[in-house]
């Protein structure tokens, strides 16, 4: 049934007249769409509700979805432009084979799938089952994530499966599990509204989770005090009550000193600590020497500001602490996270209205995708692949003997190292562009070149896909039914708006076809996504991420259900821990002692400047999708080196001058953007670009020992102005690669 697009007033209402969106009378020059489909944005973890407009099986535009409770129609620039990728000329329409010396040639599906299957078998016969590895991603729905985990273990029978969340949420996940026994934001974001104090640390919310700022503004309107911790004066910091410009890699010193201050000034919730936690004494003992003066020397933040922040946090009745990758992308990412959690537990402000804590999940399905078993150490429901009972249960659901279930495999970065060592010879990747997104990408490229066989499933020919022997043309978010779990923990429905174009195929069809060829067809004969979800429900039953009680219908009727939801009559759990029964074995929340240690690489005479990396508002991750959308490229066409005027002066660097940045891993050139909004000892480069524009030519592959996340947020570099000036988007006529 054709539905009319929303009225011009609705468009104005959702973006605000100040943005100067011209109201459109229907669609001038365009026919009325056939349909509008309520689904979610394919990009970040906010998973904003959106309506896609469809004409002749093509997505031709969008309308706000005003009723969806989180974003209420609001969208950021990426959400507004996302529909542009559907009819993109670069869209892969058929499988491709790389022919040496000739490039990619189309190949039929049967031949492509046969080739993949025979190569998997050849490599596993020659080198053992784990010599074939799989990398997956969490832009994939819950159904696809679950399917990938089952595919690796049951059809390919390899232990070596990991996912791109390894670059993203794992430090938070590990910290949350240690402290709470469960890995989810404690409250939905509406609880921000009446928090008295909010700490946002290592999260550039206005650029990376723009629609979340609405809830922060609501809180501000209600009088909330805002503390922002970031080496840069990010947009959110400009309105904050206190901005703590932390030196990259020193957060745990800051949180430790704040904790000591709370203890010394009697701002602890003793009742909560005594009855609902363990480990407090050891945790306080660990920070006994962390005076404000010491913290100032380590973090570079004035001690008065640290004191003010501790006072505000300590005296509040309600509060929320949010963090993202700024504190997690470290070789002590888990310790940073635990440092934050210690502050929350010490004040007992969790499990109550307007009192919460959480990591802000990054990728579209960063939450659900880290629960259902495509991590190297995990089975569905956030079960542990090394736990005998968990293994027995999942083997039962999958109908295989428990000993056949592979054990724990290598993490994403460790897989790259194993390829270098010659232990891993084959790779299948889906929804992951490691050549751009992993650190030290010269090393990653060498690994890809060493593989005997590489197959990539994507809808665009990503930079990594160019190294593939076979590229399988997969599907976009809006081309299959499914579910994702938002950063709040709300499981929502993704709708199929159109079918894959040309000869492209749905991701789930491709995986099932491969499984059948590998002899596991009887375990991969799902009729549709709902059938996969129903098996996932059973597989997650009794796990900490329990989805058993969630059904497609229930999600649709309620615009989402918060897990855990253990039974069909359970309403879901927007706010965790109201009963103070934590998901740990002893039911208590656990303090964890944290002592400061340095980042893996500190500055010295040779590399005297701190380098940190991250994001800009109009580009997304490795950029495969957003670098193809004209308006987003126009907004930010290239990575710039953010540098403070004083540091620029020291090296005689002028605005837009090309600067050569060198680390122990490589060299890359970026135009300078001289700004006062960054620390004087630190430079920042966004990482969304490949090749010569890639920040990951410079970054370091040191991992957190627990979470195995790479240290994207801090390494040491040196700077050299090259006397060359380019126009935006232009590449200088020289470079490192």
Ligand X SMILES: Nc1nc2c(c(=O)[nH]1)N[C@H]1C(S)=C(S)[C@@H](COP(=O)(O)OP(=O)(O)OC[C@H]3O[C@@H](n4cnc5c(=O)[nH]c(N)nc54)[C@H](O)[C@@H]3O)O[C@H]1N2
**Neighbouring residues of 151: CB distance < 8 A, sequence distance ≥ 6:** 134, 511, 514, 515, 524
Report which of 98, 692, 147 is spatially closest to residue 454, judged by C-alpha positions: 98
Span of 1-9, 132-140, 186-194, 588-596 interacting with ligand X by CB under 6 A: 132-140
Specify the length of the chain in residues: 737
- How many other C-beta atoms lie within 10 A of the C-beta of residue 577? 21
Q: Which of 168, 174, 284, 436 binds Mo ion (CB under 5 A)?
A: 168
**Per-residue x/- mask for ligand X, residues 430 to 469, rule CB under 6 A?**
xxxxx--x-------------------xxxx-x-------
Q: Which is nearer to ligand X, 337 or 394 (CB)?
A: 337
Q: Which of 79, 202, 348, 362 binds Mo ion (CB under 5 A)?
A: 362
State the minimum distance, in angstroms, from the CB of residue 21 to ligand X.
Answer: 20
Report strand pairing: 35-40 vs 49-55: antiparallel
Q: Report how many residues bind ligand SF4 under the rule CB under 6 A.
A: 13
Backbone φ, ψ for residue 311 (5° rounding): -60, -50
State the minimum distance, in angstroms, from the CB of residue 559 to ligand X.
Answer: 22
Span of 208-216, 262-270, 577-585, 686-694 interacting with ligand SF4 by CB under 6 A: 208-216
Beta pairing partners, 721: 659
State the minimum distance, in angstroms, from the CB of residue 216 to Mo ion.
Answer: 20
Q: Which is nearer to ligand SF4, 44 or 497 (CB)?
A: 44
H helices present in 196-318, as ranges: 205-208, 213-221, 235-238, 251-264, 270-276, 280-286, 292-299, 303-315
Asked whether position 436 contacts Mo ion by CB under 5 A, the answer is no
**Per-residue x/- mask for ligand X, residues 73 to 112, rule CB under 6 A?**
----------------------------------------
Span of 94-102, 307-315, 622-630, 724-732 interacting with ligand X by CB under 6 A: 622-630
CB 471 within 8 A of CB 103: no
Strands of 537-677, DSSP E: 561-562, 589-590, 609-614, 641-643, 657-662, 667-674
Question: In which element (H, E) is residue 326 found?
Answer: helix 325-328
Q: Residue 75 binds what, of ligand SF4, ligand X, Mo ion, none (CB under 5 to 8 Å, by partner type)? A: ligand SF4
State the minimum distance, in angstroms, from the CB of residue 636 to ligand SF4.
Answer: 14
Q: State how far the Cα of 566 lies from the Cα of 704, in Å rounded to an integer.
A: 33
The 3-state DSSP class for residue 594 equals coil
Q: Which of 74, 276, 375, 477 binds ligand X (CB under 6 A)?
A: 477
49 φ/ψ sector (left φ>0, alpha ψ -120 to 50, else beta): beta
State the minimum distance, in angstroms, from the CB of residue 451 to ligand X.
Answer: 17
Q: Which of 474, 543, 549, 701 binds ligand X (CB under 6 A)?
A: 474
Asked whether position 532 contacts ligand X by CB under 6 A, the answer is no
Asked whether position 140 contacts ligand X by CB under 6 A, the answer is yes
CB-based burial label for 449 (10 Å; 0-12, 13-18, 19+): exposed
Question: In which element (H, E) is residue 396 found?
Answer: helix 388-398
State the minimum distance, in angstroms, from the CB of residue 523 to Mo ion.
Answer: 31
Q: Which is nearer to ligand X, 153 or 505 (CB)?
A: 505
Q: Which is nearer to ligand SF4, 209 or 413 (CB)?
A: 209
Report which of 136, 15, 14 is spatially closest to residue 67, judged by C-alpha positions: 14
Report which of 660, 652, 654, 658 is spatially closest to residue 674, judged by C-alpha positions: 654
Residues 43-72 that bind ligand SF4 (CB under 6 A): 43-44, 46-48
Asked whether position 483 contacts ligand X by CB under 6 A, the answer is no
Q: Which is nearer to ligand SF4, 45 or 599 (CB)?
A: 45
Residues 24-43 that bind ligand SF4 (CB under 6 A): 41, 43
Q: Residue 431 binds what, of ligand X, Mo ion, ligand SF4, none (CB under 5 to 8 Å, by partner type)? A: ligand X
CB-based burial label for 576 (10 Å; 0-12, 13-18, 19+): buried
Span of 92-100, 399-407, 517-525, 618-626 interacting with ligand X by CB under 6 A: 618-626
Q: What is the CA radius of gyration of the chain?
A: 25
Chain mean position to CA 458: 18
Q: Residue 483 binds what, of ligand SF4, ligand X, Mo ion, none (CB under 5 to 8 Å, by partner type)? A: none
Task: List the structure tokens of 349.
Answer: 């402000």
**Per-residue x/- mask for ligand X, residues 681 to 710, rule CB under 6 A?**
---x--x-------xx--x-----------
Span of 95-103, 216-224, 356-364, 472-480 interacting with Mo ion by CB under 5 A: 356-364
Cα separations (Å) of 692 from 175, 339, 434?
35, 37, 15
State the minimum distance, in angstroms, from the CB of residue 96 to ligand X.
Answer: 14
Report which of 361, 344, 206, 226 is spatially closest to residue 276, judged by C-alpha positions: 344
Report strand pairing: 132-136 vs 161-163: parallel
Q: Residue 236 binds what, of Mo ion, ligand SF4, ligand X, none (CB under 5 to 8 Å, by partner type)? A: none
Span of 184-192, 216-224, 243-251, 580-588 interacting with ligand X by CB under 6 A: 243-251
CB 97 within 8 A of CB 107: yes
Q: Which of 47, 124, 164, 365 binds ligand X (CB under 6 A)?
A: 164
- How many other C-beta atoms lie within 10 A of the C-beta of residue 382? 25
State the minimum distance, in angstroms, from the CB of residue 212 to ligand SF4.
Answer: 7
Backbone φ, ψ for residue 273 (5° rounding): -60, -45
Report which of 186, 562, 200 is spatially closest to residue 345, judged by C-alpha positions: 186
Q: Which is nearer to Mo ion, 147 or 172 (CB)?
A: 172
Q: Which is nearer to ligand X, 347 or 696 (CB)?
A: 696
Position closest to ligand SF4 via CB: 79
Asked whether position 613 contacts ligand X by CB under 6 A, the answer is yes
Cα separations (Å) of 689 from 437, 620, 631, 665?
9, 10, 16, 17
Which letter, b or e, does each residue of 59-78 get, where b requires 16 or more Cβ atoms within 10 Å of its Cβ? bbbbbbbeebebbbbbbbbb
Asked whether position 632 contacts ligand SF4 by CB under 6 A, the answer is no
Q: Which is nearer to ligand SF4, 127 or 214 (CB)?
A: 214
Asked whether position 54 contacts ligand X by CB under 6 A, the answer is no
Asked whether position 663 contacts ligand X by CB under 6 A, the answer is no
Q: Which is nearer to ligand SF4, 409 or 686 (CB)?
A: 686
State the minimum distance, in angstroms, from the CB of residue 687 to Mo ion.
Answer: 11
Backbone φ, ψ for residue 98 (5° rounding): -85, 125
Q: Residue 149 binds what, of ligand X, ligand SF4, Mo ion, none (CB under 5 to 8 Å, by partner type)? A: none
Asked whether position 477 contacts ligand SF4 by CB under 6 A, the answer is no
Report which of 43, 683, 690, 701 is spatially closest to residue 362, judged by C-alpha positions: 43
Asked whether position 306 contacts Mo ion by CB under 5 A, the answer is no
Task: List the structure tokens of 189.
Answer: 């974001």
463 φ/ψ sector (left φ>0, alpha ψ -120 to 50, else beta): alpha
Q: Which is nearer to Mo ion, 51 or 136 (CB)?
A: 136
State the minimum distance, in angstroms, from the CB of residue 75 to ligand SF4.
Answer: 4
Asked whether position 713 contacts ligand X by CB under 6 A, the answer is yes
State the minimum distance, in angstroms, from the CB of residue 589 to ligand X.
Answer: 23
Q: Give me the residues that bind Mo ion (CB under 5 A), please.
A: 168, 362
Q: Give me the residues that bind ligand X (CB under 6 A), please.
A: 44, 137, 139-140, 164, 167-168, 201-204, 207-209, 229-232, 234, 246, 248-249, 251, 324-327, 329, 362-363, 430-434, 437, 457-460, 462, 474, 477, 507, 612-615, 617, 619-622, 624-625, 684, 687, 695-696, 699, 712-714
């Amino acid at each position: 049934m054709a539905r009319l697009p929303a009225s011009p007033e609705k468009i104005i209402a959702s973006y605000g007249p100040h943005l100067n969106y011209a109201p459109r009378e229907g669609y001038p020059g365009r026919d009325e769409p056939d349909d509008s489909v309520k689904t979610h944005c394919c990009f970040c973890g906010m998973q904003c509700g959106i309506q896609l407009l469809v004409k002749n099986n093509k997505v031709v535009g969008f309308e706000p979805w005003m009723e969806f409770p989180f974003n209420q129609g609001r969208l950021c620039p990426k959400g507004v432009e996302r529909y542009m990728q559907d009819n993109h000329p670069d869209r892969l329409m058929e499988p491709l084979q790389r022919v040496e010396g000739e490039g990619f040639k189309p190949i039929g599906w049967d031949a492509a799938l046969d080739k993949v299957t025979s190569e998997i078998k050849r490599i596993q016969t020659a080198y053992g089952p784990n010599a074939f590895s799989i990398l997956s991603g969490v832009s994939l729905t819950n159904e696809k994530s679950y399917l990938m985990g089952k595919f690796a273990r049951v059809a390919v029978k390899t232990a070596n499966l990991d996912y791109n969340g390894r670059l993203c949420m794992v430090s938070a996940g590990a910290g949350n599990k240690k402290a709470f026994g469960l890995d989810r934001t404690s409250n939905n974001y509406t609880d921000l509204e009446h928090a008295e104090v909010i700490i946002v640390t290592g999260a550039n919310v206005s650029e990376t989770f723009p629609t979340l700022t609405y809830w922060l503004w609501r809180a501000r309107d209600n009088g909330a005090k805002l503390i922002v911790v970031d080496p840069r004066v990010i947009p959110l910091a400009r309105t904050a009550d206190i901005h703590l410009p932390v030196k990259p890699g020193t957060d745990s010193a800051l949180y430790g000193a704040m904790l000591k201050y709370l203890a010394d000034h009697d701002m602890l919730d003793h009742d909560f600590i005594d009855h609902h936690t363990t480990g407090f004494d050891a945790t306080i003992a660990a920070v006994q020497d962390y005076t404000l003066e010491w913290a100032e020397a380590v973090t570079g933040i004035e001690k008065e500001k640290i004191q003010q922040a501790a006072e505000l946090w300590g005296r509040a009745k309600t509060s929320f602490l949010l963090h993202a990758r700024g504190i997690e992308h470290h070789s002590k990412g888990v310790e940073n996270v635990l440092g934050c959690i210690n502050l929350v537990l010490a004040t007992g402000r969790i499990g109550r209205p307007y009192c919460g804590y959480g990591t802000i999940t990054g990728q579209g399905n960063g939450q659900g995708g880290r629960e259902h078993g495509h991590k190297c150490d995990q089975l569905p429901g956030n079960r542990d692949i090394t736990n005998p009972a968990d293994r027995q249960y999942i083997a039962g659901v999958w109908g295989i003997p428990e000993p056949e279930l592979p054990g724990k495999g290598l993490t994403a970065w460790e897989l790259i190292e194993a390829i270098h060592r010659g232990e891993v010879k084959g790779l299948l990747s889906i929804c992951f562009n490691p050549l751009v997104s992993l650190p030290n990408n010269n090393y990653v490229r060498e690994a890809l070149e060493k593989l005997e066989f590489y197959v990539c499933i994507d809808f665009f020919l990503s930079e990594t896909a160019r190294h593939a022997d076979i590229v399988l043309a997969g599907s976009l978010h809006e081309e299959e039914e499914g579910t994702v779990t938002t950063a709040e923990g709300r499981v929502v429905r993704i709708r199929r708006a159109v079918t894959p174009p040309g000869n492209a195929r749905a991701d789930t069809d491709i995986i099932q076809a491969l499984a059948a060829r590998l002899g596991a067809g009887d375990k991969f004969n799902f009729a549709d996504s709902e059938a996969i979800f129903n098996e996932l429900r059973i597989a997650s039953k009794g796990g900490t991420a329990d989805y058993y009680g969630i059904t497609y219908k229930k999600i649709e009727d309620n615009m989402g259900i918060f897990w855990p939801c253990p039974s069909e009559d359970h309403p879901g759990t927007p706010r965790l821990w109201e009963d103070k029964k934590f998901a740990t074995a002893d039911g208590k929340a656990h303090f964890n002692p944290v002592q400061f240690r340095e980042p893996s690489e500190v500055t010295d005479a040779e590399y005297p400047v701190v380098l940190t990396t991250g994001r800009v508002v109009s580009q997304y991750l490795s950029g495969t999708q957003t670098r193809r959308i004209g308006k987003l490229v126009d907004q930010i066409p290239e990575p710039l080196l953010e540098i403070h005027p004083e540091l620029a002066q020291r090296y005689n660097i002028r605005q837009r001058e090309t600067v050569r940045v060198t680390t122990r891993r490589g060299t890359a050139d970026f135009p300078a953007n001289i700004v006062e909004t960054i620390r004087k000892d630190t430079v920042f480069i966004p990482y969304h670009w490949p090749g010569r524009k890639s920040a990951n030519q410079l970054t370091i592959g040191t991992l957190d020992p627990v979470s195995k996340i790479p240290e994207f947020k801090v390494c040491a570099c040196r700077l050299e102005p090259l006397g060359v000036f380019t126009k935006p988007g232009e590449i200088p006529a020289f470079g490192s690669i």
